[in-house]
Structure 1
Amino acid sequence: MLPDERRRQILALLNSSEVLRPADMAVQLDVSPETIRRDLVLLEREGAIRRVYGGAAKAKNLSRSAEPGRVERENIEREAKAEIAEVVASIVGDDDTVFLDVGTTVLAAARALPESFRGRVVTNNLGAVLAMAGRDAVNLHLVGGRVRHDELTCSGPDAEDQVSNFFADKAFLGSGGVHATGGLTDYHLDEIAVRRRMISNAAEVYVLADGSKLGHVALRKVCELDRITALITDSSADPEMVAQLRDAGLTVVQPAVAGAEDAAS
């Protein structure tokens, strides 16, 4: 059973009971209690359930019809974002030209770029520009266009044209979801169009996604997995979901095992 289907069944079980114990759910779904506990952690991060004394309960007023707002997302998965940012900092060359995409995980990576970095950053992420504005050694290029006020990003035809005039050593992209067969997906068409230009004009493409986004399919397709050099995720990502992505041919890098994964992929 795929993780997404298993989590849907967990939610279905919780629809019919106020509180369920992980051991009971494990028996009904024929998986280990440890697997259920990992699923409950991810579902709680997404706001779908709440863990209570003795088990788990369905969250009230759940709405997954749209991506959470920027401020909310910045406060979600802070530790996971910090782990991913640390990996990014370790693979950026001091003189690289890099594309930085939109999204709060990419913003965390921008803040973590090492002090020795003196390359060029091309980004449509105003937050990333503000994070590096005091670093005189960094050559900053802000891609302009239509401003998305709630996200502090620029997109649209002007942004696409500007990105197409640059070539980067590495692109670091945000995501709404990464799925073994669905590929890389996200929510906003204008931002996806700019992201596709970054993918086309970068020698290496890295997707930054915490464990809650693995196995998830967002509203719109960005690209297939074969366009991605590697996925960088955090150490808490579901091992089953990571294994499915690797089986699909995607290199997955996690902080705790980054060296081993590079050797294995």
Structure 2
Amino acid sequence: MWQEDRHQRIRTLLSTLHRVSTERIMAELGVSRETVRRDLLDLEAMGELRRVHGGAVRPADEAPIDERAHTRVKAKSAVVKAATGIVASGQTLFVDAGTTTSLLAEQLAKLANLTVVTNSIDVALKMRGASGEAEAPNEVILLGGSISNRAAATMGAATVLDIHRFRADLALLSPVGIDARHGATNYDQGEADVARAMVANADRVVVLADYSKIGQRSRITWCPLERIDLLITNAKAAEAAGFASLKRKLRRVLLA
């Protein structure tokens, strides 16, 4: 089968299924795993899909959170470790929901005298777990609202309204993608609304994005580049095609 024929078959599978595994493509096309890998790399470079663990999704889609929690853990951990270095005692922090911010909560829980305002149940529980042992324990505020069907987090109009009750020194937020044209983006409207409200009510905005998110974009922009005070990513991000243009437009980039 010619390469363009394979590419068209993969496009059709994604259009129908939204998410397709490497094994399914191998079976449908009758080709090797290595051939599928090359085809997915080619189509990703053209912006027609996004590779995830075990296969591919359409560019606008995002892998389930349970799966994302086990991918690029080392890279995410490096990002959140760098993020804790800019946090100071006595600050109020907005933290949104996601696999990166869940790891961030594990590090923030080791600090003291913070106020963390979050819509993530996971973040709240991790922060609460160590707070009782500190001399100046952290205060954890879980935002109200409806429980998301995508993650253990609150969202919706009530959550956004609740956010506007607070002012934060820092908003520590993690996008689906960030690129030079669209800024920080997300797939889900509810998650984007929460992040946008946190941005509006924070003195400084810090975006936490592992290398795989650099140069990527999703459906909904929630923060333009000019509003981002700091992007924390991995040194490997410098190899991404969109990194140079992104860095030129940002105030500051920290490579972990």
TM-score band, normalised by shorter chain: 0.7 to 0.9
1:254 aligned partner, one-letter code: L
Change (3 A) 1:254 1:114: farther
- CA deviations 1:130-152 (Å, max 9, x no partner) are 11112130111000101014410
1:144-183 superposed matches below 5 A: 144-183=144-183
Whether 1:101 and 2:96 are equivalent positions in the alignment is yes
For 1:250 and 1:214, how far apart are their aligned partners in 2?
16
1:69-218 → structure 2 map (5 Å cutoff): 69-113=64-108, 115-134=110-129, 135-136=131-132, 137-218=137-218
Report the alpha carbon displacement of residue 46 of structure 1 after superposing the two structures with TM: 3.1
Q: Would the alpha carbon gap of residues 250 and 157 (structure 1) be closer, same or farther in structure 2, given more than 3 Å must change?
A: same
Structure 2: tracts of 5 or more residues without a match: 11-28
Q: Is the 8 A contact 2:185 2:219 kept in 1?
A: yes
Q: Structure 1 residue 183: deviation in Å? A: 1.2
User: Distance in 2 between the 1:118 and 1:46 partners?
Assistant: 40
Q: Percent identity?
A: 29
Match of 1:63 in 2: 57
| Structure 2 residue matching 1:198: 3-state secondary structure | helix
Q: AA paired with 2:156?
A: G
Contact 2:52 / 2:63 at 8 angstroms: preserved in 1? no
Unaligned segments of structure 1, at least 5 residues: 1-8, 26-35, 51-58, 256-265
How many residue pairs get matched?
Answer: 220
8 Å contact kept, 1:46–1:212: no
Residue identity in the other structure for 1:101: D
- Superposition RMSD in Å: 3.1
Contact 1:245 1:252 in 2 (8 A): no
1:246 corresponds to: 247
Report the AA paired with residue 226 of structure 1.
Answer: E
Query: Offset of 1:69 from its aligned partner?
Result: 0.9
- DSSP 3-state at the match of 2:88: coil
